[in-house]
Amino acid sequence: MISQREKDQISNVIRTLCRFYLQKGCEDFKLDLRYEDDYYSLNIAGKVLISLEEVDQVRTNLAKPASPEMSHYYDELLASGGDDEDMYLLGYLIEFSEVLYADGVLSLRLRTCCH
Amino acid sequence: MNTQSAADGHHRLKQRFLLLISITFILTGLFFNPPLEILQGFLRINTHPSLLLSDYLVIGGIGATLLNSALIILIELVIIHYTQTRITGALLAAVLTTAGFAFFGTNVFNSLPIIAGALFTAKLEKLPINSYFLPAFFGTSLGPLVSYIAFGLSLPFGFSVPAGLLAGLAAGMIVPPLSSAFLRFHQGYNLYNVGFTAGIIGMVAVAVLRMLNVQVLPLSILDTEHEFILTLLTALMFLALLGLGLVLNGWKLSGLTEIWKDSGRLISDFVIQVGSGPALINMGLVGLISLGYVKLMRGPINGPVIGALLTLCGFAAFGKHPRNCIPILMGTYLASLFHLEQTNSTGAMLTALFGTTLAPIAGRFGVLAGVLAGYLHTALVANVLPLHGGVNLYNNGFSGGFVAGFLVPLLEAAQRFFEREKNDKPA
């Protein structure tokens, strides 16, 4: 059973991702959320205006090791900043990430555990 | 060496370094006072109401104060060790900050119930216990609430001590959810977030006490006798951090530029981002710069100032660096120059050093914004102290929350305006 806290956290993650895509000029993106027993996975893909350096930055941000003191305490900061720093914060929550960029389409596959 | 074993090695080194600090504190204390005197002083510290500013160097003596600080480090190290938690920049900041505040308000008696309360909340919420280490350790800023109820109300100890412990447990339990929620108020631009939370909790608790006709007033007990040894101890500690960082970083300064480019906004964990080596170098440098600032201003070195120096050093692993701290120091200095009677009093030093809680504003919006933040912080910090009567040790974190909450939306609006103007200009 998904807890209220987890629901809030997932909502904040989705807000962060949506905001990021919109800020990068995306007008049409697809977001897919799947909740399993002990984790949830999120896939998002859309055409964005982004440089290769920015893609690398997204990759680095999301590859950071997740840590409990960050993911259960500072998660309230998600979607409060309004710039790329939110993607950086997101990295602390994500346990697995795959970043693909081809033909202007940025696809993110993310997975994080639920406690 | 692969990344995992290197990280394990660095973790052990950080653990040993903190252990070494606590052992050095105990041995230095034994050099100044005989064991019995230290124990008597330790008892006086742990039974003192401990409201801001209660310098334990005066209350218990140097040996007992150093023992108190060493024990706080050891308690936290034991908790970290037995939960197999990796020492991140955030945890380094927490351990060094609480060790610093153990010079003027945090003690073993008043911190344990708060830590227990916060960890109990993690259990209640079915979260890993280490999820709440930060609010648990930083939550000890409410230690004086425990000590004042236990020893400051002139009630029978059979009643007041359990009441103080219960108040600490309750405060510890509510710190994690509140501090997490308050992050949104200042958007991570006030590094002492738990200080802001503890200020709100302290304000509510003291308001209730005042309704019961209990007077809670800040104190001013300050040491003047241990300047040399305290300067030497902190300088050596900062140099050791710098040296350890250089060793871990292969005697290179690589990674430091990356740290200095960071805004410092929560969460900026330099240990995770750049690695232990550069983070420790930054800690040593920030520590030495802040000690240099106090000496340049001819400020005193007493318990509270040592607390501030250790906090700055600790937070140099978690958001602070010279580039974002110096503008804040400039702003607080300007404000004290124009508005305070003394620019080198303990109060002025604490405002300047702890004012760097607002360092992310300088890091994100530039030097002028940092100077303005420091200036406003000086104006506000003295005004918020009476609200909690000194039961919150992180008074600057309380004030910093309001400054950031007020300033950041305005700075963002100004930034948006100038960006629009720039974009609207014909090419």
CA distance A62 to chain B (A): 12
Residue B427 scores a pLDDT above 90: no
Domain segments of chain B as ranges: 3-211, 227-414
Residue B70 scores a pLDDT above 50: yes
- B39 in Cβ contact with B207 (< 8 Å): no
* Minimal-distance CA residue of chain B relative to A71: B131
The predicted structure's pLDDT at residue B6 = 65
Task: Tell whether A59 lies on the interface with B, counting CB pairs under 8 A.
Answer: no
**Residue B55 or residue A65, greater confidence:** B55
ipTM value of the model? 0.83
Which whole-number Å values give the CA distances from A85 to A79, B212, B401, B405, B412, in the listed order? 9, 46, 20, 18, 14
What percentage of residues in chain B have a pLDDT greater than 90?
82
Closest CA to B381 of B405, B355, B408, B404: B355
Q: Which of A68, A85, A92 minimises the CB distance to B130?
A: A68
pTM to 2 decimal places: 0.92
Which whole-number Å values give the CA distances from B310 to B23, B41, B119, B235, B291, in the listed order? 16, 22, 25, 11, 10
Number of domain units in chain A: 1
Task: Tell whether B147 lies on the interface with A, counting CB pairs under 8 A.
Answer: no
| 3-state SS, residue A65 | coil
B176-225 pLDDT, tens digit each: 999 989 998 999 999 999 999 999 999 999 999 999 998 888 888 888 89
A48-85 pLDDT, tens digit each: 999 999 999 899 888 887 777 677 788 888 877 656 67
**Residue B416 or residue B35, greater confidence:** B35
Token pair for A91: 């990295």
DSSP state of B223: -
> Alpha-carbon distance B244 to B18, whole Å?
12
SS3 content of chain B, % helix, strand, coil (to 5): 75, 0, 25
Task: Tell whether A60 lies on the interface with B, counting CB pairs under 8 A.
Answer: no
Residue B23 scores a pLDDT above 60: yes
> Alpha-carbon distance A98 to A50, whole Å?
17
Contact B412 A115 (CB under 8 A): no
DSSP state of B51: -
B147-156 pLDDT, tens digit each: 999 999 989 9
The predicted structure's pLDDT at residue B421 = 85
- B41 in Cβ contact with B61 (< 8 Å): yes
The predicted structure's pLDDT at residue B273 = 86
> Mean pLDDT of all residues in chain B?
93
CB atoms within 10 A of CB B110: 30
Residue B59 scores a pLDDT above 70: yes
CB-CB neighbors (< 8 A) of B267 in chain A? 70, 74, 77, 89, 92
Residue B208's contacts (CB-CB under 8 Å, 6 or more residues apart) are none
**What's A83's domain CATH number?**
3.30.565
CA distance B179 to chain A (A): 8
Closest CA to B302 of B228, B232, B224, B218: B224
| 3-state SS, residue B220 | coil
CB-CB neighbors (< 8 A) of B91 in chain A? 69
The predicted structure's pLDDT at residue B1 = 46
Contact A92 B267 (CB under 8 A): yes
Task: Tell whether A64 lies on the interface with B, counting CB pairs under 8 A.
Answer: yes
Of A34-48, B25-39, B126-140, B269-283, minimum mean pLDDT range: A34-48
- Domain span at residue A30 reads 4-113
CB atoms within 10 A of CB B135: 30
B122-158 pLDDT, tens digit each: 999 888 899 999 999 999 999 999 999 999 998 999 9
* Minimal-distance CA residue of chain A relative to B188: A77
Q: Which of A5, A67, A77 minimises the CB distance to B188?
A: A77
CB-CB neighbors (< 8 A) of A115 in chain B? 126-128, 131
CB-CB neighbors (< 8 A) of A57 in chain B? none
B221-250 pLDDT, tens digit each: 888 899 999 999 999 999 999 999 999 999
A34-47 pLDDT, tens digit each: 988 778 899 999 99
Give me the mean pLDDT over the B344-365 stretch. Answer: 95
Ramachandran angles phi, psi of A49, nearest 5°: -95, 100
The bridge status of strand A29-35 relative to strand A105-113 is unpaired
The predicted structure's pLDDT at residue A12 = 87
